[in-house]
Structure 1
Amino acid sequence: MGKFEHQRHKFRTGLIQPRELIIACVPMRSNVNISQIARTASACAVEKMIICGNASLISKIARDATSELTVSTHRSLGPVLKKLKADGYSIVGIEQTSNSQNIHHFFFKRRSVLVVGNERLGIKDDILELLDEVIEIPVWGMPHSYNAASAANMALYEYCRQFPEG
């Protein structure tokens, strides 16, 4: 046997408490992006995801996400974010703005909502006004931003890195 023994789909246990992170997606153009975000959210033990508009999950992409992740659909995101903010959640958007913080220097609050913008339009002004914080992920090449699902997945990973026990 070699130096490394292959362990496919190693299950990590040890969450002391459920994650207090909610993923909230503005209306998006691609169900593929929504489904990729759902799959990563489920792998990160996130229990709640909000999608808007006519979005739906593609089961072949989201895979096991539907069994562990509660997905709720709403017409618009604004009223939902206002309620979550009143319930004590910090509302954090992924977007490039004049005051966005580099994700490498950002510390999530345990009770956070991660708002993911549209692939082309980002996060519209009415939703930007509801955010408590805005983070951006540095880009070193072209294009000037990451795909919505890629950016959401990086932010999900960073949240889990900061709160590995839940």
Structure 2
Amino acid sequence: MKFEQVRHRPPAPLAAPRELVVACAPMRSNVNLSSIMRTAGCCGVERMIVCGNARIDRTVARDGADSVQLEVRNSLPPVLRGLRADGYRLVGLEQTTNSTNLHSYAFPVRTALVIGNERAGLSEAELELTDDCVEIPVWGLPYSYNVATATAMALYEYCKQHPS
């Protein structure tokens, strides 16, 4: 018996919009930011807040990014305070002395994933505003993944825990 393989089927609809927001510190690379936006779209994220001089490269972001509402702000700390006031758990993607391994962290449904700058990570002021920090284990050099890759891993883990 032969089964027909269908490529590029339409995405599975979510039962309700995800209560997940991605909040990014100013990025050095628009390619990283565009990759994060494309991944956010693939994960059903509807809202992404970016800081600084953010520009999206549509050749990188492509189709899925069209469903993501992009908000550009000047500074991340006021954004984080607003998200907390709206009931989001602020989860920084950062290696700290108190960060939790991504594989064992239970994401709340209403999460704001806070992404730092490629080189500097999250500032002290930004870290002070987070409720939790998660890190991804690394077994080689360098000591961390590229910001777009790490964000994709964290978004995937959230989606695995909250599939619909």
Using structure 2 for the length normalisation, give the TM-score: 0.96
Q: Deviations over 1:75-121 (max 9, x none)?
A: 00111110110111000000000000000100000000001111110
Q: Give the superposed CA RMSD.
A: 1.3
Consecutive unaligned residues in structure 1, runs of 5 or more: none
Give runs of ≥4 in structure 1 deviating > 4 Å.
none
Q: Is the aligned partner of 1:52 residue 2:51?
A: yes
The aligned runs of 1:2-81 (5 Å cut-off) are: 5-81=4-80
Match of 1:132 in 2: 131
The alpha carbon displacement at 1:10 in A equals 2.4
Instruction: Give the whole-Å Cα distance in 2 for the aligned partners of 1:86 and 1:134.
Output: 19
Instruction: Give the whole-Å Cα distance in 2 for the aligned partners of 1:115 and 1:78.
Output: 11
Letter in 2 for 1:145: S
Match of 2:87 in 1: 88
Instruction: Give the whole-Å Cα distance in 2 for the aligned partners of 1:14 and 1:58.
Output: 26
Letter in 2 for 1:127: E
Instruction: Give the whole-Å Cα distance in 2 for the aligned partners of 1:18 and 1:38.
Output: 17
Q: Deviations over 1:6-52 (max 9, x none)?
A: 42222232411100000011001000000000000001110000111
Instruction: Give the whole-Å Cα distance in 2 for the aligned partners of 1:136 and 1:5.
Output: 40
Percent identity (aligned)? 54
Using structure 1 for the length normalisation, give the TM-score: 0.95
Match of 2:115 in 1: 116
Instruction: Give the whole-Å Cα distance in 1 for the aligned partners of 2:31 and 2:126.
Output: 23
Partner-residue secondary structure (3-state), 1:109: coil
Matched residue count: 164
Instruction: Give the whole-Å Cα distance in 2 for the aligned partners of 1:72 and 1:19.
Output: 17
Q: Deviations over 1:126-149 (max 9, x none)?
A: 000000000000001111100000
Match of 2:98 in 1: 99
